[in-house]
A = this chain, B = another copy of it.
Amino acid sequence: MEAFTVENVPLIKAGDDIASIICQNADVMDNDIIIIASTIVSKAEGRMFRLEEIEASEEAARIAQKQQADPLFVQAVLDRSRDILLESPIFLVETNNGHVCIKAGIDASNVDRGFLVDLPADPDASAENIGQRIEDITGRKISVIITDTNGRAFKIGQTGVAVGLYRIHPIKDWKGEKDLFGNILQITEESIADEIAGTANLLMGEGGSGYPIVIIRGMELRSDDKASVKEMYRNSSQDIIRKGLCSLRHA
């Protein structure tokens, strides 16, 4: 397996064609997995916004006071969320798309000062648009993963995670396979999409270095059928950690 950054990616602005930029700057091959930072996807889709455009509700004002945050920012998060898991000390929500993350993934990094950018509204659709256009241009069969970075339970630090994808299933199921000694495996579900997102994040860099597109080559993981990032979102009623956080909120 090899992983490399796509060079010469310009600063992305609204209306830019990310698929064409990739095809101009990389020699795409069959089975390539093309990993794209969500920030540039959102920028190309024109999803930058200013807090001044927002009006805060009473709920936003209440949460903002608890967090000592800007009510307009809180409202921006609420507008993009269908559930709140925690209001404080971290503002953890489930986005309208089903992704659990801090502040609905709204980011002020790598955006013009004064602007914010959020996650694509339907990241699978964004991945599909880019992926199909790359396939049309190149005639190659590829996969796309759109990524963000998230924190995690019990450990410091963020890792790259998949938030949208095209033609790659997020989970590889080892069910029924046997180990080296012929025993049925206990662990059966590997989150390959998040492992790939983490691999790409090692090369992307958070800082000014900015390599928002990475290609991974040498893995045969492309699916012929439709895939969705939602395949790895746990049903909230089965989620014990969520239950724990919920009990804190209502304590």
Contact = CB atoms under 8 A, between A and B. Distances in A.
A239 B90 CA distance: 10
A192 B199 CA distance: 9
Contact of A192 (B153, B202, B241): B202
A242 B248 CA distance: 11
Interface stretch (A118-126, A129-137, A206-214): A206-214
Contacts of A3: 1-3, 199
Contact of A174 (B187, B202, B203, B206): B206
Contacts of A128: none
Interface string A178-193: 1111110111111110
Contacts of A170: 157
Give this chain's copy count.
2
Given A199-B202, A234-B154, A11 B194 contact: no
A177 interface: yes
29 contacts: A2-B3, A86-B240, A109-B187, A110-B179, A112-B181, A152-B153, A153-B241, A153-B242, A154-B242, A156-B189, A156-B233, A157-B170, A157-B171, A157-B189, A157-B190, A160-B195, A177-B207, A180-B208, A182-B208, A185-B206, A190-B206, A192-B202, A195-B199, A196-B202, A199-B199, A240-B245, A241-B244, A247-B248, A247-B251
Interface of A: 1-4, 11, 86, 89-90, 100, 107-113, 149, 152-160, 170-171, 174, 177-183, 185-192, 194-196, 198-199, 201-203, 206-208, 210, 219, 231-234, 239-248, 251
